Amino acid sequence: MNSSWQNIESIREEIDDWFEQRRQQAIAQLDTHPGMRRSTLARNLLNDFPNDKLSAVDAEWAEIRRAALEISRWFGDAPAPEPNH
């Protein structure tokens, strides 16, 4: 569980950094004369980085839930898993 939580924190930092870079790019774009602007900003803003990272966080939370459920089973607080049919 600690490893999953550390991964979530690391992903959060990556997302924070990504948004800060995009903010800086947007401000630079606004400060640039329209004839001098590069067209890469729109592509950078539309990539799937945040969605990919959020999917990774969802996977880490699933791992944390699985581990917590397993710990509950060890102490008899949760029902045993149903057998696969």
pLDDT digit string (tens) for 24-72? 887 887 787 776 666 665 555 556 787 888 889 999 999 999 998 888 8
- CA separation for the pair 2, 47 (Å, rounded): 30
Q: Is residue 19, in this structure, part of any structural domain at all?
A: yes
- CA separation for the pair 27, 48 (Å, rounded): 21
Whether residue 81 is predicted with pLDDT greater than 70 in this model: the reply is: no
Q: Is residue 68, in this structure, part of any structural domain at all?
A: yes
Q: Is residue 15, in this structure, part of any structural domain at all?
A: yes
Number of domains in the chain: 1
Q: Is residue 34, in this structure, part of any structural domain at all?
A: yes
3-class SS at 76? coil
Q: Is residue 85, in this structure, part of any structural domain at all?
A: no
> Whole domain around residue 14: which residue ranges?
2-74
Q: Is residue 80, in this structure, part of any structural domain at all?
A: no
pLDDT of residue 33: 73
Q: Is residue 12, in this structure, part of any structural domain at all?
A: yes
